[in-house]
A and B are shown apart, each in its own frame.
Chain A
Amino acid sequence: MRRLFVTSALLVLLLYGGLILSIFYFFDASTLWQSLTSDRILFAIKTSLLAATLATILALALAIPAGYALSRYDFWGKGVVDSLLEFPMIVSPAALGAILLIFFNNPLGSWIQEHIIAFVFSFAGIVLAQFVTVTGVATRFSKAAFDEVDEELEKTAQVLGGSKSFVFASVTLPLAKRGLVAGAILSWAKALGEFGATLTIAGTMPFRTETLPISIYLHLEMADIKGTVALILLLLTFGLGALFVTKKLLGRVEW
């Protein structure tokens, strides 16, 4: 039994590890250096990192209280909210982008575009696409993190004199910290790699809405395999680096 399970786990390693290793067939150090020094790619990296960070902060601002509510309270519509958390995963990213685009073409969306902030074909559109994509998963992670905190601890803290906000800050948040940080980093990594929705709503304008995943798509479209590999490695470095740092911070790195 153990052998079967361990084999399955190693097959997962083989699948992803093999795929990552395979790109080194087209690896070229000079192309990587060129990419790292190209203004256009540096802009795409900067745009990606900034948009993913902003989208994650905004998503967490909503996901932390929402996750707590889903974990602790019974309220009207709770079941629907809980089911909708996976909505961005169920619809394809392109469909999600299309839904956003359609929204900004209806009267309310057009009014927002004109009077508040223009999302279509802009940096705000990238942030919005990533925010919509990761909020569900960030809320799911938050809920799971709060589920792990024993309610008895919160009740005891209240009876011992802590107001609800004091208990949340002094007991709930510190005990949910690991799960919340892990959720934040994974949301950030997901936002960083977001492509479909971003492409649909923000487009592929260099020095304006070009992110790292969009750069990869554009290089591939031009049959620039070496350039594509260089960019994939950059994206992987940021994504896997973030995951490694998270696990290190949480003290859970195991080899």
Chain B
Amino acid sequence: MVKVKNLTFTQGDFRLFINNLQIRAHQCHALLGPSGAGKSTLLHLLLGLKEPQSGDVLVEGRSILHLPPHKRGFGYVPQHLALFPHLSVEENIHYPLKAQKRTPDRAFLDELFALTGLGPLLGRYPKSLSGGERQRVALVRALAAKPKLLLLDEPFSALDPNLKYELWELLKRLQQELNLTILLITHNLQEAFTLSHECSVIQKGSIAQSGETKELFYRPKKLSVAKYLGFHNIFEAIGEKKGIYLPDLRQSFCSELVIPKGEKRLVALHPHDIVAGKKECNNLEGRVEWIDLYHYKRGRFWPKGVSNFIEVKEGGEWIHIPPSAFFEVN
């Protein structure tokens, strides 16, 4: 388990303050956020490449802030991989072991080679490798010394989609089979959703929300997080005696979310929760406009007589919003 507590770092106008961040052992934790939010700064603080003004970082209960980067016991894959061009694939992979004066664990390395298919490439040099091969070498090099935490800094951002999916699969398999603890820095929502067990969204230098990945993606608590995750279905709701009234949709809905009568709140709906057809209540009549995206469809459902649309994954002449679908954001 890695814990970040009250970590403060200020540089010019930018201030980073990480109140509480926990990366559970043997899980992949994604740190999501827009450019300039502080992802790289936090990463550099964890790696020891920058010094915080205050706070602490604990690995398995022990503070590591006083340790130089080479004694922190982390594995690292930077954005541009940073393979050493003058060393062969094998020498690159052995680098952490040589640097830490450790005897290679032959069986472990063989397992890594078998999982990643790097065996035949050991004698080659980085320049002669394809993009995917280079990624694999960087991953195996980061894992060779059995790090306590593997830090990945947007390592898949420059890859074409098919290769990216292939490497996501590989990383997932490595994480599961080797019980790795991973911090994945990314701004790719799909990547974070696919790979991580838990997720944190960093905005303007602090963690806006942390939690189990599916929960965070489907039920964000903060408006800024919901907007960052691409939520369109955010409406003002007014509490009624039974249920809620959404002025934008000019309709009352049964809702498991209770808002005191007459009070206004912001509610959100995930498109996944909205279904096609009609049930006993919470039905809307209208038309759906499909936008075909590669791999999935996104629909805009225009309820009759309303100028706002609802984002849906399925729909026809009618859509039904289950009472459990409404949740509050603030």
Interface size on B, residues (CB 8 A): 26
User: Which residues of B lie under 8 Å from residue A171 when comparing CB positions?
Assistant: 84
A157 on interface, CB distance cutoff 8 Å: yes
Task: Please determine whether A159 and B74 come into contact, CB atoms closer than 8 angstroms.
Answer: yes
Is there an interface contact between B70 and A161, defined as CB atoms closer than 8 Å?
yes
**Cβ-defined contact, B76 with A160, below 8 A:** yes
Q: Which residues of chain A come closer than 8 Å to B84, judged between CB atoms?
A: 153, 157, 171, 175
Q: Which of B15-23, B94-102, B195-203, B273-281 contacts A (4 or more CB under 8 A)?
A: B94-102
Contact pick for A159, options B49, B80, B86, B98, CB 8 Å? B49
Instruction: List B contacts of A158 (CB < 8 A).
Output: 48-49, 68-70
| Given the contacts A152-B78, A152-B80, A170-B99, A160 and B49 also touching, CB distance less than 8 Å | no
Report whether B145 and A159 are in contact in the complex, using a CB–CB cutoff of 8 Å. Answer: no
Chain B residues with CB under 8 Å of A157's CB are 84, 95, 99
Max chain B C-beta neighbours (<10 A), residue from A160, A174, A175: A160
B99 partner residues in chain A, CB cutoff 8 A: 157, 160-163, 166-167, 170
Q: Is A150 an interface residue (CB 8 A)?
A: yes
Task: State which of A155, A161, A164 has its C-beta within 8 Å of the C-beta of B145.
Answer: A161
- Whether the Cβ atoms of A152 and B82 lie closer than 8 Å is yes
CB-CB < 8 A to B145: which residues of A?
160-161
Task: From the candidates A155, A164, A166, name the one contacting B49 in the complex (CB within 8 A).
Answer: A155
- By a CB distance below 8 angstroms, the chain A residues around B48 are 158-159
A153-B84, A174-B86 known; A160-B75 Cβ under 8 A: yes
**Residues on A close to B: CB < 8 A?**
150, 152-153, 155-164, 166-167, 170-171, 174-175
- 29 residue pairs from A and B, CB less than 8 Å apart: A150-B82, A152-B82, A153-B82, A153-B84, A155-B47, A155-B49, A157-B99, A158-B48, A158-B49, A159-B49, A159-B69, A159-B70, A159-B74, A159-B76, A159-B151, A160-B95, A160-B99, A160-B141, A160-B145, A161-B73, A161-B96, A161-B100, A162-B70, A162-B99, A163-B68, A164-B68, A164-B70, A167-B70, A175-B86
20 more CB-based (< 8 A) A-B contacts, given A158-B69, A159-B72, A163-B99: A152-B78, A155-B78, A156-B78, A157-B84, A158-B68, A159-B74, A159-B76, A159-B151, A160-B75, A160-B76, A160-B141, A161-B70, A161-B73, A161-B99, A162-B95, A166-B99, A170-B95, A170-B98, A170-B99, A175-B85
